[in-house]
Structure 1
């Protein structure tokens, strides 16, 4: 496992998340004044949200901690860090939105990794993300300087790695992605993804820079002289690379990895769905979130949010599933599908103390998932640092 994978994962997933937030916030600007639930959203509000998130994401103390050699986080910890990052602004995402958002950015980054002709091209994905992020804060030079400084540090850290270390980094990423097979409408319509959620990789196109087109076997003698050549047929149609870079010929269009694929309004094409083999219950549990929040309060593991900050924040729906969830909680036919259980939510100090003592005797849930206590503590440190920022 590579100890240098976490910074690239965070920057690329964070960049994909910023792409989606920017697109959804731009779509929100078309809301009319009559829509009292959503309100009017201005361009200045969108820029302020993006500036707050990017400023937190590329802050120097946070990047100092992130760039230290450490193991890659689990999906649960990474989702928690990205959720806290999105909430660094006035934006608030519900659980369903964050789950779909995380699935979408994971699959987008996974596809970009698959398209890399060579492991070193992973850096080009990160550079493309940072170039687009820099454009988001073009009107805020201070935050733009933070992005520039982070890119310089990324170049210093990764430019000295060998080809073998980049290969190990790529293998670590593939292990991180191997159980994620979420179907994305945009990929399905472009035939980049199969109905089972796996990507369809082409066997044709340009080979990586510095390599030869396959189909030739050369034999050398003990003195290094070529003595024989043999040609064998290949299944694909390979061509020499045009220039050094991270490009992939997909059909009749050229995709540059890491660029914003949400720049065109594809509201209906950026939805995710589980693979047919995954047996999941899509029906929302209306009381589950409140029950978990209550239990967390009783155990003393969740502090109350600042009231003033909560009043300034707003909730944004990223996907149509959120509207369905709201319709279900508002009443109507959905109410007949669930048995409502009333829970006495009064605070009992004695019960809270006893539950906290019991909870302290068990290992944390994150340690149980990853089997890596140091990874969990590192994640907690980054979350605390993000809260301070």
Structure 2
């Protein structure tokens, strides 16, 4: 079993979670400000450098229960609330979508899928959101790629396939796109749209609505087996989850049941530089005045000007 499977599971499932939640926020016409706040909170915690440092440590692959709880904890760090039923449905979506990607990846590997996940989630974020958090995560995968031997890669793929082997839920978006059959099995790669197959890790929902005049038109009526997106009815509470410091239980326990899992604290506050703007003339633009300490020469010139 690979000792590097855990970060692939957590990050890829986390990115699928972002896709689904972003989709649900749009179908509900949640105001842009609140939608951006939800995505910002979730991604800040999911890809926090402190959490990633722990996940990328060599370790036995975490159990399903532990990773599910970790991702549910992350989903609760925003101003959005999900009930238990919605959380379970969200888990079904995340696991089956990533399992499908792994099962049909003939010309791409899990590194390609992971990097595409990250780049596509980055495209969903507001412009003011720092790209560093994504670059840092991508860099960690690049470092891992350089260290991996062919045997390491084979071991990782085998571990991931075994980890997801117990999930068999039918997902309506996969059925609609012809990616999953009504008996729950996945379609063969040869029968799949080549554009979808070449871009595993992208938001699959964009293919679901690409031929619709209205991107989110009549979503409720087009579900075949389940209403997995529709059941996610988050309530956006202004006063919910305003904590600046979060505690997450890590999946790293090294299979030691007697030892409590490590808990890390994450600060999710985002600090911005203060800018001082002074008005020189009432009808002119604002002039930026940086708060930079003056040099001795500047102080001397200022004193000379005052005496003249």
1:2-26 deviations in Å (ceiling 9; x for gaps): 0011111111100000001001111
Alignment of 1:130 onto 2:9:
no
Alignment of 1:260 onto 2:247:
no
Q: Of 104, 109, 115, which aligns to 1:121?
A: 109
Alpha-carbon separation, structure 2, partners of 1:156 and 1:65: 15
Equivalences for 1:155-174 in 2 at 5 Å?
Answer: 155-174=142-161
Alpha-carbon separation, structure 2, partners of 1:3 and 1:24: 34
Alpha-carbon separation, structure 1, partners of 2:58 and 2:169: 30
Residue 277 of structure 2 corresponds to none
Q: Of 88, 99, 118, which aligns to 1:99?
A: 88
Deviation at 1:101?
Answer: 0.6
Number of matched residues? 239
Residue 44 of structure 1 corresponds to 33
Structure 2 residue runs without a partner (length 5+):
210-215, 229-236, 242-250, 269-308
Alpha-carbon separation, structure 1, partners of 2:97 and 2:8: 14
Residue 2 of structure 2 corresponds to 2
Residue 185 of structure 1 corresponds to 172
Alpha-carbon separation, structure 2, partners of 1:95 and 1:371: 28
Deviation at 1:48?
Answer: 1.1
8 Å contact from structure 2 (residues 172, 225) kept in 1? yes
Residue 385 of structure 1 corresponds to 264
Residue 128 of structure 2 corresponds to 140
Deviation at 1:79?
Answer: 1.2
8 Å contact from structure 1 (residues 57, 85) kept in 2? yes
Residue 14 of structure 1 corresponds to 14
Deviation at 1:200?
Answer: 2.6
Alpha-carbon separation, structure 1, partners of 2:151 and 2:105: 16
Deviation at 1:177?
Answer: 1.1
Alpha-carbon separation, structure 1, partners of 2:42 and 2:194: 36
Alpha-carbon separation, structure 2, partners of 1:157 and 1:375: 31
8 Å contact from structure 2 (residues 47, 134) kept in 1? yes
What is the DSSP-based 3-state SS (H/G/I as helix, E as strand, rest coil) of the residue aligned with 2:54? helix
Alpha-carbon separation, structure 1, partners of 2:225 and 2:265: 29
Alpha-carbon separation, structure 1, partners of 2:195 and 2:93: 22
1:93-142 deviations in Å (ceiling 9; x for gaps): 11100101101110000010011115x61111011111012112242343
Change beyond 3 A, Cα 1:188–1:18: same
Change beyond 3 A, Cα 1:271–1:91: farther
Deviation at 1:56?
Answer: 1.0
Change beyond 3 A, Cα 1:313–1:154: same
Deviation at 1:251?
Answer: 4.4
Residue 89 of structure 1 corresponds to 78
Alpha-carbon separation, structure 2, partners of 1:386 and 1:84: 13
What is the Cα-based RMSD across aligned positions, in Å?
3.0
Deviation at 1:77?
Answer: 1.2
8 Å contact from structure 1 (residues 191, 200) kept in 2? yes
Change beyond 3 A, Cα 1:23–1:273: closer
8 Å contact from structure 1 (residues 183, 273) kept in 2? no
Structure 1 residue runs without a partner (length 5+):
30-40, 205-248, 275-309, 315-365
Alpha-carbon separation, structure 2, partners of 1:376 and 1:182: 33
Change beyond 3 A, Cα 1:74–1:26: same
What is the DSSP-based 3-state SS (H/G/I as helix, E as strand, rest coil) of the residue aligned with 1:385? strand
